[in-house]
Amino acid sequence: MSGKLVVRIAELEIEPAHLETYRLLLTEEIEAAIALEPGVLSLNADSIKDSPHKIRLLEVYANQMAYEAHLQTPHFLKYKNATAGMVTTLRLIDVDPIIMGGKP
């Protein structure tokens, strides 16, 4: 896949009563996306210390086409529909990476 990377941060707040179910659904979605979609380069989920209902995702896609394809996959649509009533706020922030590093 060619083109400019699509990198974004998603800031979510989850209804605390649904937090465990949300985390299970998020884990299932991320594992499927990484396993099945070559254009999904990285999906990382973290919670804010002392505020576990505040979730931050760092998403990296090979390009815009890969990102748009991801939004149409059965595993993403399942996640989106199943968590709709759990997410109280969602903010998507597109970012330009300065440096991205990691070890295999």
**Rounded-to-integer distance, Cα 13 and Cα 18, Å:** 11
**Rounded-to-integer distance, Cα 72 and Cα 14, Å:** 23
pTM score, whole prediction = 0.92
Going from N- to C-terminal start, the domains of the chain cover 6-95
Q: Residue 5 in contact with residue 84, Cβ under 8 Å? A: no
Asked if the model's pLDDT at residue 1 lies above 60, the reply is: no
pLDDT tens track for 23-48: 999 999 999 999 999 999 999 999 99
> With the C-alpha atoms ordered 40, 89, 26, 32, is the resulting torsion angle positive or negative?
negative
**Strand ranges across the sheet with 51-61:** 40-48, 51-61, 6-14, 87-95
User: For the domain bounded by 6-95, which CATH number is listed?
Assistant: 3.30.70.100
Asked if the model's pLDDT at residue 3 lies above 80, the reply is: no
pLDDT tens track for 64-102: 999 999 999 999 999 999 999 999 999 999 999 999 888
pLDDT of residue 102: 84
Q: Residue 37 in contact with residue 97, Cβ under 8 Å? A: no
